[in-house]
Every structure is written in structure tokens, then in C-alpha cells.
């Protein structure tokens, strides 16, 4: 599986930040109309749900992670839906996988060896995830070690202080250094939006991260009090659109934390299609950071296949 386009970044442009304004009421009105105006039914819903699976970063980031747990998750990533269900839809030979698996650095080698030649990339959380409050040289070293172990994507956390104090050039230099440490791997910049205060600050942090070379911008670690939301997602994807208009470079988007149901996943996909276009419905430019979403999507697919829901435990994720 291709990791998608590489962001070359650009020079730090403070003037771009001066022009950023976010109308919170307009954002909320846009989001409230989203699900009301759009619905996906029947065969189309099956296709959209299968597309959502291909955009999941199947994730385990727990203190009790073990090699056995990670291997089970990797096997699920390679075969995310029971074969009998896929066969009913004529998709048994389609080779559907999740977009990636996401683990801590210590589990990268286990994940890489289990996934083998499947094409499913390993994403490693890095830079002192989730808070990022470790010495800078150690953050860079963690990135380099994960890449050396085979991670093709690195999910970094930014220093929230730089956003909260308006130290935008410091944030730019930090993300730029992380990008250089990634070498051939893609960089996904986690903004921890629930800790950044206002939508305006989220928008500016998004733009700075993209200027510095982030290949994806990501909402959350999944461990904040507030994680991915549709209003914040709208703010971030519109910055992606603005960056594309300014530079011609396509940047990916990853909402993470709290997305648990198939219905929510479809709403996010509709948002991406309406705001950025069809290309942003592919795993090269869109991912869900999720641990339990896959289970609900598989239950919905089984309902379409057999006309009834099964117990959740029949669709093990990890």
C-alpha cells in the first residue's frame, strides 16, 4: 500500500496565520446540516463501509500491550472482515485491509514481522507520546529508532505550549526537525486539539504543521478529555484546502479518538468528500485513528449480508 504524497513543506509564512479567522457559529451550522442533508443507503452503504475500513489505523496504545495482542491485531488488519460476509458482496478477492496499524515503538518490530508482505504499513506513535514532554534529543531519537525498525509512518505530538503562547515559529522548527528525523517515513502531526483552547488556535496550528512538512494533520492522541469532533475536523480540513490552494500540495487528515460507530465513520467520509473531494476518501489522504470502530462496521456489514446483528464478541478486533 502506498503511503501517499510527500509534503515538501515551505518557508514559515507568518502572514498566512494573520489571515486565519474562524466563525464558530458558521462552523456549527455547517456541521449540523451535514448528516441531515446526506444519507447513504443499501448497496451504497456497503461500499462506503468497506471504504471506511480501508482508512482505519487499527490501534492499540495501552500499558498492557503484549506481542501476542499486537500480532492478533495485525492479523485482523490483514483480514478485517469475515470472508463469508465479503463473499456475499462479491468482495472476497478484493484484498481489503485496514489503512495501517498503530503501536508504540516497542511493538514496531513485532507488527512489521507479522504484517510481512501484506502491504499494511506500521505507524508508530513517537516524540514522547502522548504528552511530548521529554528532552528534544530523545524525541528525535525515538523517531529514528522506529523508522529503523520498519515503521513507515510516525505519529508525533507537538509541544502544546507553543500554540498556547503563540510561539508559531518555534512550532514550525519543531515539526520541521521531526520531519527530517522521519527520513522516508510519513509524518502525522498530532495537534491534541482538545487542549489548544480555540478553533482559531487549532486552525493556525494546522497551518504551521503543514508549512513545516507534516504529511497528515491529526486531531488527538485519543487520551485527551476531548478528542476528534466534527466541528474541529471542519476547521482542520479547511486549512488543508487552503494549504493546497497556496502550494498545490495534498495533505492528509486523521481524526482520532472517540469515533466508535459506523454511522460516525460515514459522516466523516461525507465531510471529506464535500470539503476536499474524492481523493480524500482514500487511505493515502484520510485515516481514522480507532480501536473499536472496526467491530461496529463489521457488525453492520453482517446485518446487510444476513439480515440480523450478531453479538459484538463475534467480531474480535485484537
- Active-site residue flag, 245: no
Q: Which three cell numbers stand for residue 7?
A: 509534503
The alpha helices in the chain, defined as continuous H runs, are 14-18, 24-37, 42-54, 67-78, 83-88, 108-115, 136-148, 160-164, 168-182, 199-211, 230-247, 262-276, 293-306
153 neighbors 172 (Cβ within 8 angstroms): no
**Active-site entry in 76, 176, 179, 254:** 254
- Active-site residue flag, 43: no
147 neighbors 128 (Cβ within 8 angstroms): no
- Active-site residue flag, 84: no
Q: Which three cell numbers stand for residue 209?
A: 504543521
**Percent helix, strand and coil across the chain, each rounded to 5?**
50, 10, 40
**Active-site entry in 155, 179, 204, 215:** 155
Closest CA to 52 of 206, 218, 255, 229: 255
**Number of other residues whose CB lies within 10 A of the CB of residue 166:** 12
Closest CA to 158 of 181, 130, 138: 130
Question: Which residues are paired to 218 by β-bridges?
Answer: 190, 254
**Count of alpha carbons within 13 Å of 176, Cβ hemisphere only?**
15
- Active-site residue list: 155, 218, 254
Amino acid at each position: 500500500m502506498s503511503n501517499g504524497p510527500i509534503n515538501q513543506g515551505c518557508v514559515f509564512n507568518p502572514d498566512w496565520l494573520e489571515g486565519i479567522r474562524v466563525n464558530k457559529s458558521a462552523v456549527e451550522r455547517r456541521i449540523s446540516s451535514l448528516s441531515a442533508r446526506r444519507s447513504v443507503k443499501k448497496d451504497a452503504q456497503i461500499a462506503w463501509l468497506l471504504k471506511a475500513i480501508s482508512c482505519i489505523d487499527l490501534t492499540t496504545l495501552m500499558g498492557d500491550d503484549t506481542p501476542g495482542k499486537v500480532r492478533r491485531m495485525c492479523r485482523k488488519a490483514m483480514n478485517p472482515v469475515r470472508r463469508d460476509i465479503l463473499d456475499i458482496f462479491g468482495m472476497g478477492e478484493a484484498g481489503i485491509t485496514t489503512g495501517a496499524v498503530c503501536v508504540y515503538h516497542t511493538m514496531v518490530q513485532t507488527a512489521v514481522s507479522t504484517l510481512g508482505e501484506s502491504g499494511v504499513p506500521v505507524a508508530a506513535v513517537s516524540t514522547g507520546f502522548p504528552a511530548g514532554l521529554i528532552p528534544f534529543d530523545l524525541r528525535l531519537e525515538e523517531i529514528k529508532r522506529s523508522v529503523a525498525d520498519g515503521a513507515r509512518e510516525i505519529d508525533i505530538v507537538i509541544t502544546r505550549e507553543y500554540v498556547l503562547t503563540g510561539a508559531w515559529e518555534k512550532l514550525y522548527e519543531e515539526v520541521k526537525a521531526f520531519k527530517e528525523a522521519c527520513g522516508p517515513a510519513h509524518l502525522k502531526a498530532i495537534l491534541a486539539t482538545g487542549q489548544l483552547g480555540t478553533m482559531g488556535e487549532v486552525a493556525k496550528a494546522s497551518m504551521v504543521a503543514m508549512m513545516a512538512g507534516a504529511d497528515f494533520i491529526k486531531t488527538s492522541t485519543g487520551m485527551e478529555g476531548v478528542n476528534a469532533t466534527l466541528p474541529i475536523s471542519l476547521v482542520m480540513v479547511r486549512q488543508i484546502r487552503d494549504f493546497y490552494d497556496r502550494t498545490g500540495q495534498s495533505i492528509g487528515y486523521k481524526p482520532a479518538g472517540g469515533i466508535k460507530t459506523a454511522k460516525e465513520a460515514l459522516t466523516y467520509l461525507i465531510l471529506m468528500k464535500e470539503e476536499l473531494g474524492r481523493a480524500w476518501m482514500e487511505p493515502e489522504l484520510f485515516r481514522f485513528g480507532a480501536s473499536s470502530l472496526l467491530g461496529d462496521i463489521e457488525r453492520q456489514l453482517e446485518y446487510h449480508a444476513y439480515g440480523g446483528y450478531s453479538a459484538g464478541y463475534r467480531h474480535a478486533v485484537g
